[in-house]
Structure 1
Amino acid sequence: MNRVLVPVDGSKPARSALEYALEQFPDAELTLLYVVDPMVDYSRRRAYPGYTSDDEHTTEREKGEAILESSLEAIPDDRVVETALEGGPPAQTIVDYADEHEVDTIVLGSHGRDGVSRYLLGSVAETVVRRAGVPVTTVRGG
């Protein structure tokens, strides 16, 4: 496997997935992907009427940049890693990115929700597993 995509969101499961990818794919090209979810902007605008979409998008983008920078700090200095920041629904954006960039595998963290909470909240990991055209490894963390 030459190209490994590791979606990151600042969570413990995402950090565990990054650690797993570093250990299991020592010679692979890693790409860390942060997805800016437009629904976060929408939800905050509805909950806090004074926010503009421009302000909120910048905030979410800055959050993504900070998470990518923080994730890079966990990478050994001799390891070359790319980062990407994309906007869209998280699961579909991850799958699309993998397709468009010829990724060989995806390693992502899973919160391990089940039952009603998974039904109500949805599961990015589950959707990626179902829709991705490449192997997906989910790593529970936390």
Structure 2
Amino acid sequence: MVDPATVLVPTLGRPREDDALAYALETFPNANVRLLAIVTPLDARMSEGSVLERADERTAEARERAARLLAVVDESAGDRVEIDSTEGQPGTVVPKYATDHDVDHVVMYGHDTRSSGLVARFLGRGVATTVIERTSQPVTILQ
């Protein structure tokens, strides 16, 4: 496998996303890393809260969350990491972003790849499963 030039690490404000960023930085030491702060639409099933907030405020908060994540993982990696943000459903946004920005590999934390049966029917498909199915680039899901 050829080392990727660009690795995408999407963030949704979930626990253990620092593990995904640390994994990307350690596993691909020569790659540029794009830390993508995703803001889900307020009407989405994954909405960050029930209080309506202005979209620009939510986007700024997502970018700050990504910057804090980077600081927790490794401040020296800052020259390799670019923080970007977007709004949308992660299962749609990640594949499109990866294609539009010439990303070679996606690394994310996801606990949903093993969900099945009754729980999956009630909760719907998980983000990680959707990203895997819709992304043409290799995807690494950390459990």
TM-score bracket relative to the smaller structure: 0.7 to 0.9
Aligned residue pairs, count: 131
Letter in 1 for 2:110: S
Letter in 1 for 2:100: E
- Root-mean-square deviation over aligned CA pairs: 2.0
Q: CA deviation at 1:90?
A: 1.0
Residues of 2 paired with 1:14 and 1:137: CA distance? Answer: 13
SS at match of 1:122: coil
SS at match of 1:106: strand
Match of 2:23 in 1: 20
Whose RCO is larger (CA < 8 A, sep 6+)?
A: 1
1:62 and 2:64 matched:
no
Letter in 2 for 1:98: A
Between 116-125 and 89-98, report the one with greater CA deviation.
116-125
SS at match of 2:20: helix
1:110 and 2:113 matched:
no
SS at match of 1:42: coil
Contact 1:13–1:110 under 8 Å retained in 2: no
Residues of 1 paired with 2:93 and 2:17: CA distance? Answer: 16
Calculate percent identity across the aligned residue pairs. 31
Relative to the length of structure 1, the TM-score reads 0.81
Structure 2 unaligned regions, length at least 5: none
Between 74-83 and 23-32, report the one with greater CA deviation.
74-83
Relative to the length of structure 2, the TM-score reads 0.80
Contact 1:32–1:84 under 8 Å retained in 2: yes
Flag the structure with higher helix content: 1
1:32 and 2:35 matched:
yes
Letter in 2 for 1:102: D
Alpha carbons of structure 1 residues 16 and 28: separation in structure 2 relative to 1, 3 Å: same
SS at match of 1:65: helix
Letter in 1 for 2:19: S
Letter in 2 for 1:129: I
List structure 1 segments (4+ residues) > 3 angstroms apart after TM superposition: 116-119
Structure 1 unaligned regions, length at least 5: none
